[in-house]
Amino acid sequence: MPNTTATHPPSGLSPKAMVFLTAATAALGGLLFGYDTAVISGAQLFFKSSFHLSDTQLELAVGVVLLGAMLGAALGGWLTDRLGRKSVLLATGVCFGVFSLWTGLSTGLATFVAARFLVGACIGVASMLTPLYISEMSPARIRGALVSLNQLAITVGIVVAYGVDYALAARQDWRMMFISAVLPAIVLVTGMLFLPESPRWLAKKGRREDALNNFRRLGREDEAQQELADVERVLREETGKFSELFRPGFRIAVWIGVGLAVFQQITGINTIIYYAPTILRNAGFSSARVAILGTVGIGVVNVLATVVSILLIDRLGRKPLLLIGCLGQAAMLGYVGYSFAHHRHGLAVFAGVLLYIVFFAISLGPVVWLMLSEIYPTKIRGAAMSLATFANWFANWVVTVTFLSLLDKLGSVHTFWLFAILSIAAMLFCLWLVPETKGRSLEEIEESFRHLGRAKA
Ligand code: BGC
């Protein structure tokens, strides 16, 4: 296992730059998450014919990544609570590289499915660990923006995958589409070698001096002692047992986390991200080329709106963004359904879908991963995040495998209206249950849940 503390920041780097560089490097985990979930959309046509797959076999080859992600999400927290944030993220980067290469070189359906399952497991680990690591490294004031670099990287990964698919489509080179992920994996691994371990994890392991040094290396010269004292105070109150999550107080944090994770998916984001060409063709974009171009446009809007959210998240706060976003999503989904109902296809549907993406990208996209990294107690933060992240991937899988049949049975109008109603439910959920975490340290957030539990007892 790599030495977690003996590394030093590149010379001449200011502490502020160090925090930013740490977050940006770790966010490459998000880039791989986005790239590897989206790359399959353009690759599938080609490996279907290479391997002579039936439709059912193709569905298996495409969907298996989500099953892998569920496994990775479930195991990731347990691993990182024991082995550290840095070591597990580093190992995940290595595995991403190896399994992406394996996917591109696979010689038949069985090896392809196995490789994609393992890539999925890496995605699952990265999806929970990247925000968690960044959150534990960040000063409270700008934690929202730094952790949301992860979501920005996810969206960039999605667009890059669409672009690579598009560029390699003429050569039908599906193998290179998968192998291209090796490059960001190498950058992630190299960068992680130089980054410090999370001081909060070190404190939990009783490694005081190392924790203090790493707080200092992250630019908190003056606050380091105080931050460590705060961390140690809350650690003394924690049992470190998973069962702590089901006590009054943290029980509510579990509900909030799982609820947010599930609402992020059941309000329909991946029906657009994974099936945009199908939706656009249903809406009357007759040429596949135009539909694919429209999909790239959706990806770009997703990136740009995420940048807006990063600028707002530590000023406006998490909750206002969630409320505006869910309401906007509901309105746009209602409008897309209405357009289908009145046969106002084409651009009307496209505009509605684009605005829906904007509302997702300023709210449920970044805020969910951020809040999951903020609301759990330090000793079991990994395990608790695993639970919510597993729920996220499970809900993603349910929506993905049922969407085409929903379109078939309910039709486009009612399917989009169903997602609109679920977005209203998400808004009410946020209004009633979700606390504001802006500007508060992870320890203050933890203590507020503990007080809630005492007040209820
Ligand atoms: C979600 C993914 C989604 C992506 C789109 C992420 O926050 O977890 O399921 O594909 O955002 O930008």
Q: Please choose from 269, 368, 389, 398 the residue to mutate so as to test ligand 1's pocket, defined by most ligand atoms within 8 A of CB.
A: 269
Confidence at residue 457, expressed as pLDDT on a 0 to 100 scale:
66
Share of the chain above pLDDT 70, in %: 97
Name the strand (E) or helix (H) holding 381.
helix 381-433
Mean predicted confidence (pLDDT) in 92-100: 98
Residue 8 has pLDDT above 60, yes or no: no
Q: What is the pLDDT of residue 5?
A: 43
Q: Give the pLDDT band (50/70/90) at residue 345.
A: confident
Q: What is the pLDDT of residue 121?
A: 98
Given a cut of 80, whether residue 431 has pLDDT beyond it is yes
Instruction: Give the separation between CA 199 and CA 212, rounded to whole angstroms.
Output: 7
Q: Domains (ranges, CATH) in the chain?
A: 15-195+237-456 (1.20.1250.20)
Q: Which of 65-79, 240-254, 348-362, 379-393 has the lowest mean pLDDT?
A: 240-254
Of 156 and 346, more confident:
156
- Do the Cβ atoms of 426 and 395 come closer than 8 Å? no
- Minimal-distance CA residue to ligand 1 atom 11: 365
Q: Give the count of beta carbons closer than 10 Å to the beta carbon of residue 235.
A: 18
Give me the percent of the chain exceeding a pLDDT of 90: 73
* Ligand 1 center–CA 56 separation, angstroms: 25
**This prediction's pTM:** 0.93
Mean pLDDT for all residues in the chain: 92
Tell which atom from ligand 1 comes closest to the C-alpha of 265: 9
- Residue 368 CA: nearest ligand 1 atom is 7
- Write out pLDDT tens, residues 160-173: 999 998 889 888 89
First-residue to last-residue Cα distance in the chain:
43
Instruction: Point out the ligand 1 atom lying closest to the alpha carbon of residue 396.
Output: 9
Distance 39 CA to ligand 1 centre (A): 14
Residue nearest to atom 5 of ligand 1 (CA): 155
Distance 198 CA to ligand 1 centre (A): 25
**One-letter amino acid for residue 256 of the chain:** I
Pick the atom of ligand 1 nearest to 369's CA: 7
In a mutational test of the pocket of ligand 1, which residue from 130, 148, 270, 304 has the highest number of ligand atoms less than 8 Å from its CB?
Answer: 270
**Alpha helix ranges (H) inside 84-223:** 85-105, 109-137, 143-169, 174-179, 182-194, 199-204, 208-217
Choose the residue to mutate in 65, 264, 356 for probing ligand 1, maximizing ligand atoms within 8 Å of C-beta.
264
Q: What are phi and psi of 150, to 5 degrees?
A: -60, -50
pLDDT of residue 3: 42
- pLDDT, tens only, 137-150: 999 999 999 999 99
Rounded to an integer, what distance in angstroms lies between the CA atom of residue 412 and that of residue 271? 12
CA of 131 to the centre of ligand 1 (A): 13
The token pair at 69 is 């992600």
Name which residue sits closest to atom 12 of ligand 1, judged by CA.
155
- Encode pLDDT of 170-185 as tens digits: 888 999 999 999 999 9
Which residue, judged by its Cα, is nearest atom 10 of ligand 1?
270
Give me the mean pLDDT over the 266-272 stretch.
95
| DSSP structure class, residue 181 | T
Ligand 1 binding pocket, CB closer than 6 Å: 151, 154-155, 158, 264, 269-270, 273, 302, 365, 369, 396
Instruction: Name, in order, each residue with C-beta under 8 angstroms of 268's C-beta and a sequence gap of 6 or more.
Output: 333, 399, 416, 419, 422, 423
Average pLDDT over residues 252-269: 96
Nearest alpha carbon, ligand 1 atom 8: 365
- The residue assigned the tokens 């000793």 is 379
Within 8 A by CB and 6+ apart from 113, the residues are 60, 61, 64
Please compute the mean of the pLDDT values over residues 329-350 and round it to a whole number: 91
Give the pLDDT confidence score for residue 10 in this predicted structure: 46
Q: Residues 279-325: pLDDT tens digits? A: 888 888 877 777 778 889 999 999 999 999 999 999 999 999 999 99
Separation of alpha carbons 291 and 280, rounded Å: 6
Vertex 218 angle, CA 216 and 224, to 5°: 35
Which atom in ligand 1 lies closest to the alpha carbon of residue 270?
10
- Output b/e per residue, 440-456; b: 16+ Cβ within 10 A: bbbbebbbbbbebbeee
- Which atom of ligand 1 is closest in space to residue 306's alpha carbon? 12
Q: Which of 148, 154, 329, 368 to mutate to test the pocket of ligand 1 (most atoms within 8 A of CB)?
A: 154
Average pLDDT (361-387) is 95
pLDDT at site 187? 97
What's the rounded mean pLDDT across residues 38-67? 90
Predicted confidence at residue 13, as pLDDT, reads 72
Rounded Cα distance, 212 and 215, in Å: 5
What angle separates helix 143-169 from helix 15-26, to the nearest 10 degrees? 40
**Atom of ligand 1 at shortest range from CA of 154:** 12
pLDDT at 11: 46
Would you state the pLDDT for residue 2? 41
Q: What would the pLDDT profile of 398-428 be if each residue is shown by its tens digit?
A: 999 999 889 889 998 999 999 999 999 999 9
Give mean pLDDT, residues 189-203.
95
> Ligand 1 centroid to 246 CA: how many Å?
28
Question: Taking 80 as the threshold, does the pLDDT of residue 220 lie above it?
Answer: no
Residue 365 CA to ligand 1 center (angstroms) comes to: 6
Cα 354 to Cα 369: distance, rounded to the nearest angstrom = 22
Report the distance separating Cα 247 and Cα 16, nearest Å: 38
d(CA 344, CA 348): 6
